[in-house]
Amino acid sequence: MTTKAVLTSQYILEIVAPIFNKNGYAATSMSDITKATGLTKGAIYGNFKNKEELSIAAFKFTIKTLLGRISTHLELSNSPIQKLFLITDFYRNYYDYSKQLGGCPVINVGVDANNQSILLLQKVKEVIQKIQKQLATIIENGIAAGEISSEINAMQYAKRLDTMIQGAIFMTYTMDDEFYLKDTMNQIDQMIHNEIKR
């Protein structure tokens, strides 16, 4: 049975996560949080020890939503090589989707936390490592299935692909132009065909 405290925490995160993601840690005040949620500071602090704990919980909430959406998209195929194409397919439409989250949480929180919160920055690093590890696993599964060249270094390519994706997201948001994401996904598709695929 879900307790009232759990429901309150969930409500706070649903409201506050996009605000933290969009405005950043330092620029999000407790008055912003109380105004958005309609709760008192006491009610917020009754569920979260401090602003930093709330910001970390908000980041985890946003990331869970994002990774859940990617996982669901990857379930469209069991083929590792097709999963790589599904990743580029997902990110082609990422700009519109991530706007609902308040922007890309990895980039927004990563850049913001670098100067504000060591604990929050550590969580961002953990998420990046998790994403790259999952990419490497797809590549390794592709090698085992005979779909991907055995000469490929799985982690090296996972890092390369993730760097290209994150760079394209940054440019798309900075320039407010989806060209960067769509063009980079086309480049990655070519890389999959020409370098990765067996």
39 dihedral zone (left: phi>0; alpha: psi -120 to 50; beta): beta
What's the CA gap between 176 and 74, in Å, rounded?
27
| Whole-number pLDDT of residue 7 | 85
| Whole-number pLDDT of residue 109 | 86
- Say whether pLDDT at 1 is over 60: no
> Considering the chain, what is the average pLDDT of its residues?
91
Which residues touch 117 (CB under 8 Å, ≥6 apart)?
A: 25, 52, 55
Separation in Å, CA 149 to CA 65, 78, 142: 33, 18, 8
Longest dimension (CA), the chain: 59
* pLDDT tens per residue, range 133-158: 999 999 999 999 999 999 999 999 99
Q: Which of the four pLDDT bands, split at 50, 70 and 90, describes residue 2?
A: low
DSSP secondary structure letters along 139-162? HHHHHHTTSB-TT--HHHHHHHHH
Q: What is the CA radius of gyration of the chain?
A: 19
What's the CA gap between 134 and 114, in Å, rounded?
24
pTM of the model: 0.88
* pLDDT tens per residue, range 169-178: 999 999 999 9
Domains of the chain (ranges plus CATH)?
Answer: 56-196 (1.10.357.10)
**Rounded average pLDDT over 177-198:** 95
